[in-house]
Amino acid sequence: MFIEKIRHVITEKCAFLIFFMTSLATIVRPLLIQQDVLFTYVGIVNSVAMGSVFFYLKYTTPKSWHPLLFVNVGILVLAPITFVSGGINSQFAYLFPIIPIFIALVSNAKYTWLTGLTVITVVIGLFLSVGVFPDYTFENVPQAKTKSRAVWLCLAVLMATKLGVEFNRIYGALGDQISKQAETDLLTGLNNRRSVMSFVQTAIDQAKQENSAMSVMMIDLDHFKTINDSHGHLAGDLCLKQVAQLIKQNVRNNSDLAGRFGGEEFIVVIKDIDKQTAHDIANNIRLSIEQASINLNNNLKLKVTATIGICVLKGEQLSSVEHCVDLADKALYQGKKEGRNRIVMS
């Protein structure tokens, strides 16, 4: 998700830049040099096309195919003006190697290679069109130079495609790592609070749409401060790590989520569930923590317990993320008051 947002922003920014440059060139170029009026007409059409793409990307929900839409429209915009301004000898032809690099930034290796091959096909078409379409620049370029430019332009596109694919591979790997780190609690390996809250919002939206129930569980270790005070914070960290794994093992499936909310407090979010099933899962978590022996580095074993507050809401009862968490939190503290090591439903 993190990487997809970056790709959409890059696509939107590039669309605006091309729209701005095309519009500016259409207005300023006739003031600086004499040119056929056809270029002005083509510039106006191109400005409208790129402006439409930009505003579409800006005001619609991001989709994975949006970069390809932008590139295809860009090629359709670039090709006509290149054909009528000398084909392979046109100054616009040297924009083609940029296209595969852009696709590499916002898409995958497969689409980068497809785009590169498409651009090479267009370049070959430009070369073959020399003498077929009228050249409104009226420049006389030797055939040998035209052939040389076509070969080098194809090589440039091929090299740009290869570099783009390699960059995409490195960029994707680093992006996945950054995204995972941004969503993961470094101590326990569970999802962190920010990513859990985002997941809760998604679960709420889905439950409202499907009129189904969802559950939020707040889990707090009992007397955890005593462990830190008696055995040190490293022992407390070991305890949190092992408890986190116990919680994770009892989460129902991949569609549900377990995370660390803060300190010794954990949170579990479960979709499409009834109260009894939620209670059973919470009890499995409570029992697994109670029955486990927490191993410390000095071979000392600790026994810990946990209190769990549960909120189960359905459809229109789901008002906000904060409301769900607050209800589960109040149930948790009610369990603390009642003696700990227990489950309380809100």
CATH number, domain with residue 276? 3.30.70.270
Q: What is the pLDDT of residues 3-39, one digit of tens each?
A: 677 788 888 998 999 899 889 888 987 888 777 788 8
Q: What is the pLDDT of residues 120-154, one digit of tens each?
A: 998 898 888 877 767 777 778 888 888 999 999 99
Long-range Cβ contacts of 333-338 (<8 Å, 24+ apart): 333/309, 334/309, 335/307, 335/308, 335/309, 336/220, 336/222, 336/307
The residue segments making up the domain with residue 82 are 2-182
Whether residue 273 lies inside any domain: the answer is yes
Whether residue 68 lies inside any domain: the answer is yes
Instruction: Please give the tally of structural domains in the chain.
Output: 2
Same domain, 200 and 304: yes
- Beta carbons of 40 and 26 less than 8 angstroms apart: yes
Same domain, 302 and 340: yes
Q: Is the pTM of this model over 0.75?
A: no
Same domain, 274 and 319: yes
Q: What is the pLDDT of residues 236-273, one digit of tens each?
A: 999 999 999 999 998 877 778 999 998 999 999 999 88
Per-residue pLDDT at 280 exceeds 90: yes
Query: How are beta strands 301-302 and 294-295 bridged, if at all?
Result: antiparallel
Same domain, 176 and 207: no
Residues above pLDDT 90, as percent of the chain:
39
Query: What pLDDT is recorded for position 173?
Result: 77
| Residue 67 banded pLDDT, cuts 50, 70, 90 | confident
Same domain, 286 and 139: no
Per-residue pLDDT at 1 exceeds 60: no
Query: What pLDDT is recorded for position 8?
Result: 84
| Per-range mean pLDDT, top range of 64-73, 128-137, 212-221 | 212-221
Query: What pLDDT is recorded for position 344?
Result: 93
Average pLDDT over residues 143-170: 90
Same domain, 322 and 213: yes
Whether residue 205 lies inside any domain: the answer is yes
Whether residue 9 lies inside any domain: the answer is yes
**How many Cβ atoms sit within 10 Å of the Cβ of residue 307?**
24
Query: What pLDDT is recorded for position 2?
Result: 61
Same domain, 48 and 176: yes
Residues involved in catalysis: 264
Nearest to 144 by CA among 83, 82, 89, 84: 89
Same domain, 264 and 167: no
